[in-house]
Structures are given as C-alpha cells and as structure tokens.
Structure 1
Amino acid sequence: MIGTIKGRCIATGKLLPTLAVGAAGGGIAYAFDIPLPWLLGALIATTVLSLGGVRLRAPTTSRKAVLVVIGVMLGAAFTPDMTGDVALWGTSLVLMLLATAVMMAFSVWFGRRVAGYSMATAMYSGVPGGVSAVTLMAADSEADLRVVGLTHAVRILVLLVAIPPALDLVGHVSLQSRRLTLDEWLAVPGFGDALLLVGAGIIGMWLGRRLHLPNPLLFGPVLLSGALHVSGVTEAAIPPTIVALAQIIIGVSVGVRFGGTSLATVGTNLMMAVLQAVALLLITIVAAWLVNALTGYSTAALLLAYMPGGAPELSLVALSLGIDPAFVTSHHLLRISVLVLLLPALLRIAMRRMHNA
C-alpha cells in the first residue's frame, strides 16, 4: 500500500513539468485572448517542445481522471428544458453515419493508394475517431502501430488547431473567452451537489465498464450525469478551474504524443497524416453545410459533431464554447459505438476481397 502511494507520488512529480508547460502555454494564450486558450495553448506548447526533442512525461492516471470529469461535465448539458428536436437529432445522426462512411472509404483508399499502407494499417489509421479503442484493436492485427498512432495524433492536432478558423468560416459563433472574476474561478458546488457529481463520476465509470461502452471512462459518466441533470435532480456544474485544468491535461495529452518523433524518419508518414486530416476536415465542412441546408440545425454544432475523431477533445470544445455539447457528444458516442462494432467485420471483408482479387 505504502509502495503504491509512493509510486503514484513519484509519477505525479514527474508529470509536474509537463503540466507546468501546458499551464504556461494556456496562460499565455488566455492573456492574448486566443480561442480555446487552455486547450490550444497547452497543446501547442507541448507539441513544439516534443518535436524539438524535449522529453515530456505523458499523463496516464490524470488523463483517465480527466475523462471521468469531462463525462460528468458533458452530462450537465442534458437539461430538463432541452429544446432539441428528437426527429431532427435522429436525422442528423443518420446523416452523420453516412458522412462517416464516406470518410472511412476515403481514408482506406488514401492509405492504400496514396500512402502505400497495408490494408490493416490503412483501416485502423483511417478510422474517424475512437483512438484508444482503435489502437487496442490494431495491436491484435498486423497493422503498423506507429503509423496508426501518428495518424490519429496528427488528425486530432490538425482538427483542434483548425477549429477556430473553421467555426469562424461558418459564422455566428463567438470564439472569445469570457473573462472570469476571481469569485467565478473559485466557485464550487454545494456539498450535496458535489456529492452527486462525484458519485456520477465514480458510479458512471463502473457503469461504462459494465456496459462495455467505447471509452467507458468518458461515456459512462456522461450517461449517469446526464440522467441526473435531465431529470432535474441536480443543476450543478463543474467549477471553471477544473474545466481549465481538464483542457490543459487534454492539450498536453495530444502534444506529448509527438515525443521521440524524428521528423527525418517519419517525414513521409507525417505528411500523409496531415494530408489525410485536412481532406477529412474538408469532407466534414461540406457535410455540415449540407446537413444544415437540409435540417436548419446549427452549422457550428454539426461541424463539431461530424469532425472525425477525438471525442473527449471535441466534446470538451463544444462544452467550452457553449455549442450544444449534448448534441455533439451524442453524435460521437454513436459513431464510436458503430465503428467499434463493425471494424473487425469490415477488415475481414476487405482482406477477403484482396485475396480474391
């Protein structure tokens, strides 16, 4: 027991420099009124240092805890007075799956024909989302895990950096962070509400694992917290300080993935990953505009809901900017669930066709 506590303290101490870099980057971005300051500031700072050869420790336990916190935060978006049209949401979810099929088909074609990857590598690196589950599944195949990991990391990086200009392009979205007073930064829920939020996180995490949800640490708390908030049991929200810390940890989690990456050795794969990410972003923008024309729903919400990957990151962006986080989270949950269920069968079909050809 003492050894475990000591080990965790040591691991936390080693993580502090990474968090300090992320906090400094976020603070600078916040001071200069950059959109999504804590997330993008931390991401850019750690990415630059990682590519420059600086070894930064990746968050592990803290990232897991943050996923639970984000899940509880996102659940708070499901309020009793939600005005979301169920039929409209259903239409958008179906169209999102169609857009996902287009993205998946393009990614596999691009990986095979342009990048020259094996079918398994092209399939797993091309999945628009679910990086944790996809990486675990890829480990049981003949896929090149370095290419899979690099492609997903670059895609999330490109998407997060592209969000401010993309949202500015669709218009009608305020990207400026509201300045909070000290009292607002230090605000905390009452004891009863805090107990409910903590319970939603802990029990939701267990529920997510029992239900075998994709990314159970995120979506289990979303379901339980959402049930508590939509039923009116509580209206409590996560304090702004914890929201900012969550953004910092998510930002550095993406940035440190480039640690140990030599641009000389992965230059081609890096370029392929960037090209694929940009192409998928363009498909997303077109799909969001088309669905907006069909349904009249917010293009900004559709854009975040349809973006290929990074459910925790994109849901947190929706929450931070107040862009219909319940709508965005629901779309990412459905997409990841469908992809995780269908991916093994899709790979088998693709491999069979290759052998027959």
Structure 2
Amino acid sequence: MTNDGQRASVRSCQHWRREGGRHVGLCYAAAGGAIASLFGIAAPWLIGGICLTTFVALMRPFAGPPRLLIRASSVALGMSIGSRVGVSDLRLIATWPLSLAGMTVTVAAMFAGSYYALRRIFHWDLPTAFWASSPGALGIVLAMSSQAGADVTKVTIVQLLRVLAVMIALPSIVGPTKAATILPSSRLLGIGLLVFLFSLAGGLALRRLRWIKEPTAMLFSGIIVSCIVHTHFSLDGNWGDALIAPACIVISSNVGSRFSGMGWRDLVQLILPSTLSLFVATAIATAGSLALTLVSGLHWSQVLMAFAPGGLDALIAAAILLGMDSLYVATHQVLRLILLSVALPVAADFFERRVRAEKSARATSGVSLT
C-alpha cells in the first residue's frame, strides 16, 4: 500500500472511531432510559440516560452526538410545546411579567450567593469564583472562562456537577404528574414527522440571524410551526410528542459526554465547593419559586422547574415528560439564557477591571515598601 493509501486508511479509521464513539454515547443513553422506564422512574428517558452516560464517560470517554442531532432535539422539544398551546394558554402569557421579573431577581441572587460562598469560604480567586457561579449559559461560561484567566478545571466541574444534580434530582423531587404519552398513533406520527422537517428547516434559517442563537432558534422554530399547525387545523392528540424520547436520548448523550476525560481525583477534590455552590443556588431558587407561588397562585413545581439553574433543553424536556406547562417553563429558561448571555460579558469586563486594579494596587504597595 502506498503512503497516500496508508494515510487515507488512517483517516478513515479515525473518522469511524470518532463517529462510532458518538453512536456509542447514544446507545448508552437509550439503554439508561430503557432501564429507568422499567423501574418506573420519573422522566426515565432523561434521568436514566444522563446517569448511565455520565458514569460511562468517567470510565471510558466518548464523543458527544453530532451537532445536527442536537439541533434536531431542540426542534423536537419546541414542536411538543407548540402542539400543546391553545388560545387560553396564549392569554395566560399576559400574567407572566411578575413571574419573569421574579426569575430575573432569583438568577441574580443565585449568582451572587454562589460567588460569595466560593470567595469567602473556599477563597477562590475572583475570575474562577465568578465563572463558576453562573447559574446557566454553560457554553458561554466555558468559552470565556479560559480567556479570563480562571481555573478552567474548577469552573467546568462545578458547572457540570450543578447541571447534572439539577437534571437528575429535580424531576424525581417534583414527581410524575401527568406524564406525556410518547407513542402517538401512526397518522399523528406522520403529521409530527412532517411538522418536524418544516421546523428543522425553519430553525436552520433562523440560525442565520445573528441575534438568534442556538438552541433558541431551533426551539422557537419548533414552537411556532407546531403552534400554527395545531391551532389552524385543530389537531387533537399527542402528535407533538412523536420525537420526545429520541430527543431525550440525544440530550442525555450530550450531557454525559461533557464528563469525558475528567479525572476522579479532580471530582473528589471539588465535590465540597460544588455541593455548596449547588446548595446555595438551589436554596435561592426554591425560596424564589415559593415566594412567587404565594403571590401569583401558580403551581410550585412548575415555577421551580422554570427557575432551576440547570440545562435548558433537559429542563424543558422534563417539563414535557412530567405534563407541566412546558411553554411557561421554556419561556423562563430561554429568558434566563438570554439574560446571562447579555449580562455575563458586561459583568466579566467589570470584574476584569477590578482584578487589574487590585493587582496594580498590590504592585504599588510592594514598590513603596521597598
């Protein structure tokens, strides 16, 4: 075999190994969901998949699912939400401003509380404590923390353990209310698949608009297209749930793959600060949701799901599987992502100036002493 042929063979093997790793993660997520379903666990395709893929990733790393499947899972969630929206639901949106304002205050309080705990109790440096305290926007946090001089290992582990704990514990605590039926009839399944294709095309088109980012573009496309179909054709049934189980499998595989390559030693060393950060954020989210429930009369479990500092896709999927008002949860979770996406760069610039000022002051005092 020639050198060119050998190189082509190596590239082909690497490609199949990488793609095979992605498929292995999806298989583990499906297996975890099936096992959880047998034991009657709440939101089984989400919790079971996340638990098994996370354990496997720590033992034997694997790649996350392809980007197209991740986008498709967001579309599937939006499609399920839109298929449930009626005229009465749209009228209820007018009662949400107080809830959205309460969530904004809660997000700020979660950020401040976690930051204070990591700085005062564990004496973490300012950049690391700042980026580890963000209650969401994981992608932005991981991308910007390395540029800000933060300890990326600490930030990554604290963020991922918080997301993992919220995703696993919250559906179990809330409990199985009116669980969504996952398998629609063959006629409704065909309608759901057709709507999905239109929604996916619309989401890919929305991605080209700079002010709409993933997964919001995909989620909004699914909601809008399925809502139009649902209201215009007066379709009844669970046609919007056709792809919920596959979407949960993709989400679970994506979450678990983020733990690939992490060392057990780092996890053990950071378990205490991660637990404290999680406890502070969860306590504040619980208090905020209870306060809003007393004022607005909304169902507490629904408000808690909307305020929780977890993964956007996973919490929306859990709300669908547990039969909650998924439009309410999705609206609040998307707003939280938007707020953090806008506020984090501004706040990071402020803290960066503060760090530079502290270093300058220390340098000046050192020169004066000598």
The interval holding the TM-score normalised by the smaller chain is: 0.7 to 0.9
Following TM superposition, by how much is the alpha carbon of 1:229 offset from its aligned partner in structure 2, in angstroms? 4.1
Which of 147, 151, 155 matches 2:154?
147
Aligned counterparts of 2:273 and 2:331: Cα–Cα separation in 1:
30
Matched, 1:55 2:61: yes
Aligned counterparts of 1:95 and 1:343: Cα–Cα separation in 2:
19
Aligned counterparts of 1:230 and 1:153: Cα–Cα separation in 2:
33
Assess, with a 3 A threshold, how the Cα gap between structure 1 residues 133 and 102 changes in structure 2: closer, same or farther.
Answer: same
Following TM superposition, by how much is the alpha carbon of 1:187 offset from its aligned partner in structure 2, in angstroms? 6.1
Aligned counterparts of 2:185 and 2:50: Cα–Cα separation in 1:
22
Assess, with a 3 A threshold, how the Cα gap between structure 1 residues 81 and 9 changes in structure 2: closer, same or farther.
Answer: farther
Matched, 1:127 2:134: yes
Aligned to 2:301: 300
Task: Please say which of residues 96-105 and 7-16 is displaced more in the overlay.
Answer: 7-16
Whether the aligned pair in 2 keeps the contact of 1:22 and 1:249 (CA below 8 Å) is yes
AA matched with 1:167: V
Task: Please say which of residues 343-352 and 298-307 is displaced more in the overlay.
Answer: 343-352
Task: Please say which of residues 315-324 and 133-142 is displaced more in the overlay.
Answer: 133-142
Could you report, residue by residue, the CA deviation over 1:90-118 in whole angstroms, capped at 9, with x for unpaired residues?
Answer: 11000100011100111221232233333
AA matched with 1:218: P
Aligned counterparts of 1:113 and 1:44: Cα–Cα separation in 2:
32
Task: Please say which of residues 334-343 and 70-79 is displaced more in the overlay.
Answer: 70-79
Assess, with a 3 A threshold, how the Cα gap between structure 1 residues 151 and 186 changes in structure 2: closer, same or farther.
Answer: farther
AA matched with 1:308: P
Matched, 1:73 2:70: no
Could you report, residue by residue, the CA deviation over 1:120-164 in whole angstroms, capped at 9, with x for unpaired residues?
Answer: 222222111111232223243222222222222111111012113
Aligned to 2:364: none
Which of 12, 15, 18 matches 2:25?
18
- Identity across matched positions, percent: 24
Segments of 5+ residues of structure 2 without an aligned counterpart are 1-8, 362-370
Matches within 5 A, 1:1-357: 11-51=18-58, 53-61=59-67, 62-82=69-89, 84-168=91-175, 174=177, 177=179, 184=184, 188-190=188-190, 194-213=193-212, 216-231=213-228, 232-233=231-232, 235=235, 240=241, 242-354=243-355, 355=357
Following TM superposition, by how much is the alpha carbon of 1:304 offset from its aligned partner in structure 2, in angstroms? 0.6
Following TM superposition, by how much is the alpha carbon of 1:178 offset from its aligned partner in structure 2, in angstroms? 6.6
Aligned counterparts of 2:56 and 2:194: Cα–Cα separation in 1:
39
Aligned counterparts of 2:315 and 2:181: Cα–Cα separation in 1:
22
Assess, with a 3 A threshold, how the Cα gap between structure 1 residues 351 and 12 changes in structure 2: closer, same or farther.
Answer: closer
Aligned counterparts of 2:146 and 2:333: Cα–Cα separation in 1:
23
Aligned counterparts of 2:202 and 2:304: Cα–Cα separation in 1:
31
Could you report, residue by residue, the CA deviation over 1:60-79 in whole angstroms, capped at 9, with x for unpaired residues?
Answer: 42334323333333343433
AA matched with 1:59: P
Whether the aligned pair in 1 keeps the contact of 2:32 and 2:49 (CA below 8 Å) is yes
Whether the aligned pair in 1 keeps the contact of 2:42 and 2:172 (CA below 8 Å) is no
Aligned counterparts of 2:88 and 2:294: Cα–Cα separation in 1:
26
Aligned counterparts of 1:150 and 1:205: Cα–Cα separation in 2:
31
For the aligned residues, what is the CA RMSD? 3.0
Following TM superposition, by how much is the alpha carbon of 1:23 offset from its aligned partner in structure 2, in angstroms? 1.5
Following TM superposition, by how much is the alpha carbon of 1:253 offset from its aligned partner in structure 2, in angstroms? 1.9
Aligned counterparts of 2:95 and 2:264: Cα–Cα separation in 1:
45
Assess, with a 3 A threshold, how the Cα gap between structure 1 residues 185 and 56 changes in structure 2: closer, same or farther.
Answer: farther
Following TM superposition, by how much is the alpha carbon of 1:25 offset from its aligned partner in structure 2, in angstroms? 1.5
Could you report, residue by residue, the CA deviation over 1:292-350 in whole angstroms, capped at 9, with x for unpaired residues?
Answer: 00110111110011001311111111111121111111111111111111112212223
Aligned counterparts of 1:37 and 1:342: Cα–Cα separation in 2:
34
TM-score normalised by length of structure 1: 0.85
Q: Secondary structure at the match of 1:247?
A: helix
Assess, with a 3 A threshold, how the Cα gap between structure 1 residues 75 and 125 changes in structure 2: closer, same or farther.
Answer: farther
Assess, with a 3 A threshold, how the Cα gap between structure 1 residues 48 and 5 changes in structure 2: closer, same or farther.
Answer: closer
AA matched with 2:24: P
Q: Secondary structure at the match of 2:96?
A: helix
Following TM superposition, by how much is the alpha carbon of 1:240 offset from its aligned partner in structure 2, in angstroms? 4.5
Whether the aligned pair in 1 keeps the contact of 2:71 and 2:218 (CA below 8 Å) is no
Assess, with a 3 A threshold, how the Cα gap between structure 1 residues 18 and 204 changes in structure 2: closer, same or farther.
Answer: closer
Aligned counterparts of 2:75 and 2:326: Cα–Cα separation in 1:
16
AA matched with 2:105: L
Segments of 5+ residues of structure 1 without an aligned counterpart are none
Assess, with a 3 A threshold, how the Cα gap between structure 1 residues 58 and 196 changes in structure 2: closer, same or farther.
Answer: closer
Following TM superposition, by how much is the alpha carbon of 1:223 offset from its aligned partner in structure 2, in angstroms? 2.4
Task: Please say which of residues 274-283 and 239-248 is displaced more in the overlay.
Answer: 239-248
Whether the aligned pair in 1 keeps the contact of 2:50 and 2:252 (CA below 8 Å) is yes
Whether the aligned pair in 2 keeps the contact of 1:80 and 1:229 (CA below 8 Å) is no
AA matched with 1:69: A
Following TM superposition, by how much is the alpha carbon of 1:6 offset from its aligned partner in structure 2, in angstroms? 9.9
Aligned counterparts of 1:71 and 1:124: Cα–Cα separation in 2:
29
Aligned counterparts of 1:249 and 1:69: Cα–Cα separation in 2:
11
How many aligned positions are there? 345
